[in-house]
Amino acid sequence: MATYLELRGLFQRGSALAHQVEVAVIVAAELIRNGDDDAANGFEDDTGTQHDLRKTWAASAFTNTASLAEQALKAILGQNRALTVSQIEGASDAAVQTAVNKAVDLLAGV
């Protein structure tokens, strides 16, 4: 299990993990833009209001990627706090995407 200081060390921009998360944010935003934000893609089932909040978040993701990716990275680290630093840094693209998709509702205010 990573310590809090080790997790804090993963916040840094420019790391491979940060770059993975940045791309995952854009992919999540594109899924939402296309109306694919459903449980099958890792998003919670929603009402129209929830979808509207996600669409607003997605639009922001295309113009404010770095800031939203930083928020998503922090959410991912919180989700995976029981893992080791090596496990977190070695996450596959699919695992990072799933974690970002799980974080979108929180980040979008749903």
Q: What is the pLDDT of residues 39-78, one digit of tens each?
A: 555 666 666 788 889 999 999 999 999 999 999 999 999 9
Which pLDDT belongs to residue 43? 65
Q: If we measure between CA atoms, which residue out of 79, 109, 82, 93 comes closest to residue 27?
A: 93
Q: Which range of residues forms the domain containing residue 59?
A: 4-108
CB 5 within 8 A of CB 48: no
- With a CB cutoff of 8 Å and minimum separation 6, the contacts of 84 are 1, 2
Q: How far apart are CA 104 and CA 58, in angstroms?
A: 9
Looking at the structure of the chain, the number of domains it has is 1
Q: Is the pTM of this model over 0.75?
A: yes
Q: What percent of the chain has pLDDT over 90?
A: 69
pLDDT of residue 62: 93
Q: Which of 56, 60, 63, 68 is nearest to 22 (CA)?
A: 68
User: How far is Cα 61 from Cα 4, in angstroms, rounded to an integer?
Assistant: 27
Q: Structure tokens of 109?
A: 């205010």
